[in-house]
Chains A and B, each alone.
Chain A
Amino acid sequence: MAISEGSTIIGESILINGNLNGDEDLTVRGRVEGTLTLTKTLVVEQTGVVRAEVQVKNCVISGAVVGNVTASESVEITKAGRMVGDISAPRVIIVDGATFRGRIDMGEVDVEQGDRPALARAASRPALRSPPRAITQDPDRVEHGGHSEAEPEEGLVEKAPGVKPPAPPVPLAMGAVKRKVIVRRK
């Protein structure tokens, strides 16, 4: 059953130079150069070398790949995998031990669910609402962030309750505080 349908294997001593298209899984143990387009999974085994523009659904790299890889689902570079080129895929897995040089594009990154919401807010909000904050929120921000500064604290804290606006701007102030923290870290 080694030649059952739906599985293509490029053996170790084989070199393919040109365009390769297909609708089935492909395992590469030899060399493929040119372009490689599949609607299923490409597996580059440890002995495999792919120097090609790759367009697949899934890609598992344990050998060497030089060229750009576009996957509609995922790209995985295993611990034996080496790759130079750009990856474009919604899921990219790079295991410890893998070698990779290039850019990765995972498509539209959802800012709301980002790992670092503070960064996302800092990037998105100032453009929209920074003018009001600059005036009304300034004391508030200093109140939170300026504990270490002795001088201006007293005066500003006195001012703050008077100027302090009600509910809506609170998240703004929080955003401002977080942003300030980040600036300090840098």
Chain B
Amino acid sequence: MATGIEKAPAPRSGAHTVIGTSIVIDGEISGGEDLVILGTVKGKISLKESLFVESSGVIEADIETANVEVSGHVTGNIAASEKVELKANCKVVGDIRSPRILIADGAVFKGSVDMEIKGK
């Protein structure tokens, strides 16, 4: 009963890259796979896949990905080609540009939203 579904939801278990809680990255992260952030990243993130900012994660960066799921803190502009999801208890300051944007009850957000699909 408490085996597989305990902590990590399905999409995250397939992630290859995890930035742990005590890790601080100051610079650029780019890549073609899912990225889970529990620590701190400053600078810029550009991915071809999904970005998960967990509740302990702190991002001070511009984000460019396909999907973004935020449970932690993000300061910076988010541009997603597919979807941005702001979960409850997240805190996001910055502009969001994505065709699909979900903001859950309890999420804190300050910035502008653009759902128009630009450049496509």
| Contact surface of A with B, Cβ cutoff 8 Å | 1-3, 5-24, 26, 29-30, 34
Report if B79 contacts A (CB, 8 A): no
Chain A residue with minimal CB distance to B22?
A: A23
Chain B interface size range: 20 to 34
Contact at A18–B22, with CB atoms within 8 Å?
A: no
Q: 4 new A-B pairs (CB below 8 Å) besides A21-B24, A30-B17?
A: A1-B8, A11-B34, A13-B33, A22-B39
Contacts of B25 in A (CB 8 A): 16, 18-21
**Known: A1-B7, A3-B38, A11-B16. Contact between A17 and B28, CB under 8 A?**
yes
Q: Mark B1-45, 1 if CB is under 8 A from A, else 0.
A: 000000110001101111111111111111111111011000100
| Contact surface of B with A, Cβ cutoff 8 Å | 7-8, 12-13, 15-36, 38-39, 43, 54
Contacts of A23 in B (CB 8 A): 22
CB distance from A96 to the nearest CB of B (A): 30
Which of B12, B22, B35 has the most CB atoms of chain A within a 10 A radius of its CB? Answer: B22
Contacts of B38 in A (CB 8 A): 3, 5
Contacts of B16 in A (CB 8 A): 9, 11-14, 29
Contacts of B7 in A (CB 8 A): 1, 3
**Known: A9-B16, A20-B23, A29-B16. Contact between A3 and B31, CB under 8 A?**
no
Contacts of A17 in B (CB 8 A): 27-30
**Known: A2-B18, A8-B23. Contact between A14 and B28, CB under 8 A?**
no
The 6 closest A-B pairs by CB, nearest first: A18-B27, A11-B16, A14-B31, A11-B17, A8-B20, A22-B23
Contact at A8–B33, with CB atoms within 8 Å?
A: no
Contact at A11–B20, with CB atoms within 8 Å?
A: no
Chain A residue with minimal CB distance to B4?
A: A1
A to B CB contacts below 8 Å, 21 in the list: A2-B12, A3-B18, A3-B38, A6-B20, A8-B23, A11-B17, A14-B17, A14-B29, A15-B29, A17-B28, A17-B30, A18-B26, A18-B43, A19-B26, A19-B27, A20-B25, A21-B23, A21-B24, A22-B20, A22-B24, A26-B23
Contact at A15–B31, with CB atoms within 8 Å?
A: yes
CB distance from B94 to the nearest CB of A (A): 20
